[in-house]
């Protein structure tokens, strides 16, 4: 594996298979621990860190609550929260089974963003109960990363937490995916000398990630978006659309298409797969010239990248063993770091767009068809994203 102090290319992918024995051995005892920042080596250090010294700090915070940001870790601590209802490609596996994934997310926060985080898996799927729990725990953390919460509850949960908590809240499955997708599309368009304003983008999958991707591409000026769910193209004439899909139907599909995959992909410029479905090669062959295919379902892309490459100019997946991995780790460590560095009270659309621009900027010097975003291991990404997000937070007046 490439060292983290190097600048690895996305094309330098790992092909050596990982064994089950390695996986379980690496997870034994969990992937996290707590490190003490001030050594307790003698009676004096113990008297400072704990009783009687700690009482002075607690009294000071009791008189001025803002001092907790300076004298505790809470303001720099991210709560990684899940109810285990939409875990990776595993679905609703419950809180306990989701914990290894949340531990992994916390490890990524520390490795790439330098942020401490605590996994909190909640044994409830009730939005009211989750909101109440996090409101009560608010003194213990400085930000909330929602993870693997099923749609459509995830939309309501995020909105309510943003209103209830005076700190950054982001559902990474929605916005982290959308930010890295936008960065990848901008990188691909730079390679192909294309403009997003002239492109029709097909998004297969209208769950949390698909809807967030549609929204951010609209905000970035995409020419037209065709959104597909299990029943076909979402359009304003369809019955039984939930409120979120109904709102998107009003601002997408300006071409007025009807039907399913075949009608959506014919002549399209970009395909984004987020549905865990499959796309036949013959449909990809009907896309427009210099097409872009992002087959992002894991572990099985909607179409094998080598097959898609027969017809598309640029192909990306969510996997680490193919070029152009679209990986949320390019976004969330820097986004939360920038939000916390700036003292932001929330994460805005401007901050998300700034993060996407920063990701592309890191790769700009050597963009290529097999490198439209930086490697997930590139150590430059999180600091650049954090700086851009912090600037955007100040511009938006939320810092």
* Average pLDDT for the chain: 94
**Residue 25 token pair:** 């051995």
Given 31, 50, 190, 394, the catalytic residue: 50
Sign of CA dihedral 241, 243, 249, 252: negative
Low-confidence ranges of the chain (pLDDT < 50): 1-5, 10-11
Q: Is 50 a catalytic residue?
A: yes
Looking at residue 155, its pLDDT comes to 95
CA distances from 378 to 6, 199, 320, 325, 341 (A): 7, 29, 13, 12, 21
Percent above pLDDT 90 for the chain: 91
Looking at residue 298, its pLDDT comes to 86
- Distance between CA atoms of residues 254 and 197, nearest Å: 13
pTM of the model: 0.92
Looking at residue 320, its pLDDT comes to 87
- Distance between CA atoms of residues 103 and 107, nearest Å: 6
pLDDT in tens, 226-266: 999 999 999 999 998 999 999 999 999 999 999 999 999 99
Looking at residue 240, its pLDDT comes to 86
Q: Which residues pair with 229 in a beta bridge?
A: 232
pLDDT in tens, 12-48: 555 578 899 999 999 999 999 999 999 999 999 999 9
CA distances from 86 to 3, 60, 76, 175, 318 (A): 32, 42, 27, 15, 17
Backbone angles phi, psi at 60, to 5 degrees: -65, -40
Given 105, 215, 245, 352, the catalytic residue: 105
Looking at residue 379, its pLDDT comes to 94
Q: Is 194 a catalytic residue?
A: no
Looking at residue 10, its pLDDT comes to 43
Query: For the chain, how big is the Rg over CA atoms in Å?
Result: 22
Looking at residue 14, its pLDDT comes to 56
Looking at residue 3, its pLDDT comes to 44
Residues in the chain: 399
């Amino acid at each position: 594996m490439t060292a983290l102090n190097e600048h690895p290319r996305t094309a330098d992918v790992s092909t050596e298979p990982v064994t089950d024995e390695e996986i379980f051995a690496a997870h034994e005892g969990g992937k996290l621990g707590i490190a003490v920042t001030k050594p307790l080596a003698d009676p004096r250090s113990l008297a400072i860190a704990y009783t009687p010294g700690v009482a002075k700090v607690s009294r000071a915070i009791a008189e001025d609550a803002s001092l907790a940001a300076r004298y505790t870790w809470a303001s720099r601590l991210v709560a990684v929260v899940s109810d285990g209802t939409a875990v990776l490609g595993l679905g609703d596996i419950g809180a306990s089974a989701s914990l290894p994934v949340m531990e992994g997310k916390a490890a990524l926060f520390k490795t790439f963003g330098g942020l401490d985080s605590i996994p909190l898996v909640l044994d409830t799927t009730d939005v009211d109960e989750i909101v109440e729990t996090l409101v009560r725990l608010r003194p213990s953390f400085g930000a909330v990363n929602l993870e693997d919460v099923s749609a459509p509850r995830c939309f309501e949960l995020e909105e309510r937490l943003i209103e209830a908590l005076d700190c950054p809240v982001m559902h990474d499955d929605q916005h982290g995916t959308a930010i890295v997708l936008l960065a990848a599309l901008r990188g691909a368009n730079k390679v192909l000398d294309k403009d997003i304003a002239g492109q029709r983008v097909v998004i297969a999958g209208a769950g949390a990630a698909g809807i967030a991707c549609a929204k951010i591409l609209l905000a970035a000026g995409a020419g037209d978006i065709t959104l597909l769910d299990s029943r076909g193209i979402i359009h304003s004439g369809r019955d039984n659309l939930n409120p979120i899909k109904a709102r998107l139907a009003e601002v997408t599909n300006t071409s007025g298409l009807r039907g399913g995959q075949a009608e959506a992909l014919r002549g399209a410029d970009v395909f984004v797969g987020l549905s865990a479905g499959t796309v036949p090669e013959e449909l990809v062959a009907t896309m427009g010239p210099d097409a872009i295919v992002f087959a992002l379902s894991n572990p099985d892309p909607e179409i094998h990248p080598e097959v898609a490459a027969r017809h598309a100019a640029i192909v990306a997946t969510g996997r680490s063993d193919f070029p152009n991995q679209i990986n949320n780790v390019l976004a969330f460590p820097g986004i939360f770091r920038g939000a916390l560095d700036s003292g932001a009270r929330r994460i805005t659309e401007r901050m998300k767009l700034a993060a996407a621009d920063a990701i592309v900027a890191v790769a700009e010097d050597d963009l290529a068809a097999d490198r439209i975003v930086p490697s997930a291991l590139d150590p430059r990404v999180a600091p650049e994203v954090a700086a851009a997000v912090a600037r955007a937070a100040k511009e938006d007046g939320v810092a």
